[in-house]
Amino acid sequence: YARKRGLDVLATILSQAYVADDFAYLARTPATAGKLALEKAGKTIDDVERVELNEAFASVVLHSTTMLGADPERVNVNGGAVALGHPIGASGARIVGTLVHELRRNGGGLGLAAICSGGGQGDALLLEV
């Protein structure tokens, strides 16, 4: 679509995943979805240059970073939702946009975006720039 219209392709989606869990365990759903997205693409967290985790609560990022086994130096490198904002209905777009532009600034690679959402859902997107 983009190429036909002469537009630059910013990123390619390699896989996506979503999970649901009891609301009491919502802090783990971004990591659970992230692991599933990585597995579907045959990748590991070590293949990923940057991770963007939405942080409706700071504990979600801490817990998900640990569960993923991600290097904290590669997670939310420009700050998370506490610093950049948590727009209702647009948090997923915000973290994906931040991730794509961060990867482009640093020469590309794989990026993982993950978010927890209403009622114990977790969503993740693995992309390549």
The segments of the chain whose pLDDT lies below 70 read none
What is the pLDDT, as a whole number, of residue 102?
A: 97
Report in angstroms the alpha-carbon separations of 55 from 10, 15, 85, 117.
24, 22, 9, 10
Strand order across the 121-128 sheet: 12-20, 121-128, 110-117, 48-53
Q: Where are the domains of the chain?
A: 8-128
pTM as predicted: 0.93
The CATH class, in words, for 8-128 is alpha beta
What is the pLDDT, as a whole number, of residue 27?
A: 87
Predicted confidence (pLDDT) per residue in 22-55, tens digit: 988 888 999 999 999 999 999 999 999 999 998 7
* Pairing relationship of beta strands 12-20 and 48-53 according to DSSP bridges: unpaired
What is the pLDDT, as a whole number, of residue 63?
A: 93
Point out which residues pair with 110 in neighbouring strands: 48, 128
Give residue 109's region: left, alpha or beta (phi > 0; psi -120 to 50). Answer: left
What is the pLDDT, as a whole number, of residue 58?
A: 83
